[in-house]
Amino acid sequence: MKGRYLTGGVVDNKVPDLAVKLLAEHGVADIEFLEWLGDTLGAYRMFAIQHPGMKDQIKDIRKLAALMSQVRQGLGPNALPPECRAICDEVSWNVYGELFFDREQRLRHDLLKSAAMLEHSAKVMASRARRGRRKTSVLRNQLLDGVVARLVEAGLIYETAREVAGKVILHCGDHFAPTSERAVRRATATRKTKKAE
């Protein structure tokens, strides 16, 4: 979970062999196209890592709440060996002017409140997502739309380009990939409408 929501990192711009093979079957696996596809996938992968979906966010929040509860239990009565508690009391008294027990009680109370706030946040976020407040995967649709456009530029007819683009992205196994043929149709429908106009 460390650094999950920080920016930066290594960009993965690999195009899987299955996707390259599929593109080659349609005569569009030239180096320029593959470099563009790799760079585009890399940008979307990086964004997906830095901005996980709602389910992943809620999962992270609940994990943190669970960790807080574990730490709180670890600070409970008789949880520490007597020698450890004696050393902690000595250090706490010498440095902070209070017994470790007093600090431990405050920490346990703060952990309890913090874990409860996190659980509440997770419930509210899940409820909002169920009510449709979560945005659709616009970026996924843009990724598919971009691949379709490049395939059409490379000479494929629109329907074939749309089908190939969906399969290529599925092979790439990306965060923004559609999970079904229906998702592919939905994601590329906007471009089809604009093209018809």
| pLDDT confidence of residue 191 | 45
Residues 114 and 153 both lie in one domain: no
Q: In this structure, what are the phi and psi dihedrals at residue 30, rounded to the nearest 5 degrees? A: -70, 160
CA distance 53 to 39: 22
Please give the tally of structural domains in the chain. Answer: 2
What parts of the chain have a pLDDT lower than 70?
1-11, 51, 131-139, 173-197
Query: Is residue 116 one of the residues assigned to a domain?
Result: yes
Residues 62 and 119 both lie in one domain: yes
Neighbouring residues of 18: CB distance < 8 A, sequence distance ≥ 6: 171
Query: Is residue 43 one of the residues assigned to a domain?
Result: yes
Query: Is residue 6 one of the residues assigned to a domain?
Result: no
With vertex at residue 168, the alpha carbon angle to CA 164 and CA 174, rounded to the nearest 5 degrees, is: 145
Per-residue tokens: 161: 């380009």
Query: Is residue 93 one of the residues assigned to a domain?
Result: yes
Instruction: Report CA dihedral (180, 182, 187, 188) to the nearest 10 degrees.
Output: 120
Residues 176 and 140 both lie in one domain: yes
CA distance 4 to 24: 36
Query: Is residue 8 one of the residues assigned to a domain?
Result: no
Residues 155 and 183 both lie in one domain: yes
Per-residue tokens: 99: 């017994």
- pTM check: above 0.75: no
Decide if 124 contacts 62 (C-beta within 8 A).
Answer: no
Range of the domain at 179: 17-51+136-196
